[in-house]
Amino acid sequence: MITIYHKSNCSTSIKVLDILKQSGKKYKIVEYIKNPPSVEELTAIVQKLGISAEQLIRKKEPLFKEKYAQKKLTAQQFIEILAENPGLIERPILIKRTRAIIGRPIDIVANWIK
């Protein structure tokens, strides 16, 4: 089973979901804007991705630039910011058991889900 953290109005997320549908693999959609992941879930996602919490943040978003860009934050603080502001989470995220990827660029997704 593959879990996709999906944003329904994101063109990249929509394209990745289409790849999942065409793959025939079982998947579960988490619309993370409607159902934001908890601090614990985000911590697990970061671990599965093998990245820092800061790397999961969409730094080009106006909210990030306005409120957080000039601050020196800990990994825990980045996780808490993401939990409170799910629109800042990089997307789409695909999780398969203990591994995860961010589905950008899109061409990495097809090989990963095999």
Give me the number of domains the chain comprises.
Answer: 1
* 58-114 per-position pLDDT tens digit: 999 999 999 999 899 999 999 999 999 999 999 999 999 999 999 999 999 998 998
Question: Which residues does residue 5 pair with via DSSP β-bridges, in sequence order?
Answer: 30, 93
Q: Which residues lie below 8 Å from residue 12, measured CB to CB, with a gap of 6+?
A: 91, 92, 103, 104, 106
**CATH of residue 66:** 3.40.30.10
For residue 69, the enclosing domain spans 2-113
Please give the pLDDT value at position 114.
Answer: 82
The catalytic residue positions are 10
Report angle CA 27, 17, 11 to the nearest 5 degrees. 155
Question: What mean pLDDT is reported for the chain?
Answer: 96
Closest Cα partner for 12 from 98, 96, 101? 101
Q: What is the pTM of this model?
A: 0.93
